[in-house]
Amino acid sequence: MFKRHALTLALCIGAMMTCQGAMALDDAKAPPSEKEPLAIFRDPRHAMTKYIEGYRSGDTTSSLDALRYAAQGGEALARWKLGSMYAEGDGVPRDEAKAYQYFLQIIEAYDEANPNPRERGVVASAFVAVGAYSLTGKPTKGIERNTARAFEMFSYAATEFGDMHAQYNLGLMYLEGSGITKDVRRGARWLRLAADKQHIESQAVLGRLYFNGIEGVPRQRALGLMYLTMARDGAGDPAKHKWIIDLYDGAMTTASDPDRQAALTYLEQFVKGRQEARR
């Protein structure tokens, strides 16, 4: 069984903090039992500014009030941040039901016909988060398992936003046949899209597929070793990424010298191609 990390929301939070924007949403859609923030801000955007100032100064109480005000006023970034906080229990009691509702608000408020470019990252991550909750389900939190909905969320984020986390999860759904017809080759294609964006979990799973040759995926040991090497190099947490390290070590143990040399050549070409693409 492959590892799934879509709910490791901390991977996305840092990148999302640069996104700004506002989307209107009726107050009736606020998460249940959420404390009503004081209306001491000019508008949601002003509240987001005060949240950032309070957060940086260590004033967690006023910054949280500002964040809630901004979220109720339609700020997608505020909703994402609150959802992430409740999902992780970061500064607030952990409450996955509230987290799910905040992520859902972002999706429901998204205007596909008139999208805000500054909110693309936040919206894409919300689709992934709702997809991940739907895939596993949290019945005690009122979140039912719905693999069809998960597939819909991941597919939309993967195709419309090119989100690598969505592409990874979509690839795993095809590999495992999770609520859809199993299709390893199609799963490998989605994984490669994410792997080429430096998504290390995708690199590890794809590397294993290529190195071993599994269910219709041609065996390409050198290419597989290249992706496993990239995943191993990006594995910064020995505990969290032990499975990646183990896959790499296992492949290196059985790889031949020509496999290793060819993998190094592939890796050099890959890095060179990325550098040229950035120019």
> How high is the mean pLDDT of the chain?
84
Q: Which residue has the higher pLDDT, 117 or 17?
A: 117
Percent of the chain having pLDDT more than 90? 62
* Model pLDDT, residue 101: 96
* Model pLDDT, residue 275: 81
* Model pLDDT, residue 278: 78
pLDDT at 26 over 60: no
Residue position matching structure tokens 């020509």: 258
Crossing angle of the two packed helices 96-109 and 120-136, in degrees rounded to 10: 130
Q: Is residue 194 part of a domain?
A: no
pLDDT digits (tens, 9 = 90+) for 223-246: 999 999 999 999 988 889 999 999
pTM to 2 decimal places: 0.80
User: Which residues are 138's β-sheet partners?
Assistant: 143
Q: Is residue 145 part of a domain?
A: no
Mean of pLDDT values over 113-140: 94
Q: Is residue 88 part of a domain?
A: yes
Q: For residues 8 and 23, what is the distance between their CA atoms, to the nearest angstrom? A: 25
pLDDT at 200 over 80: yes
User: Which residues are 143's β-sheet partners?
Assistant: 138
Q: Give the end-to-end CA distance of the chain in Å, rounded to a whole number.
A: 39
pLDDT digits (tens, 9 = 90+) for 41-80: 666 676 767 667 766 766 666 678 888 888 888 899 999 9
The number of distinct structural domains making up the chain is 1
- C-alpha dihedral (123, 138, 204, 173), degrees to nearest 10: -80
* Model pLDDT, residue 261: 95
Q: For residues 117 and 13, what is the distance between their CA atoms, to the nearest angstrom? A: 17
Reduced to 3 states, what is the DSSP secondary structure of residue 143? strand
pLDDT digits (tens, 9 = 90+) for 162-178: 999 999 999 999 999 98
Q: Is residue 8 part of a domain?
A: yes
Residue pair 103/130 in contact by the 8 Å Cβ criterion: yes
Q: Is residue 272 part of a domain?
A: no
Q: Is residue 201 part of a domain?
A: no
Q: Is residue 246 part of a domain?
A: no
Instruction: Give the domain range for residue 24.
Output: 1-137
Q: Which residue has the higher pLDDT, 110 or 42?
A: 110
* Model pLDDT, residue 148: 96
- C-alpha dihedral (133, 139, 143, 147), degrees to nearest 10: 50
Reading the block at residue 15, the tokens are 């990148």
One-character DSSP codes across 251-264: HHHH--HHHHHHHH
Q: Is residue 17 part of a domain?
A: yes
User: Which residues are 13's β-sheet partners?
Assistant: none
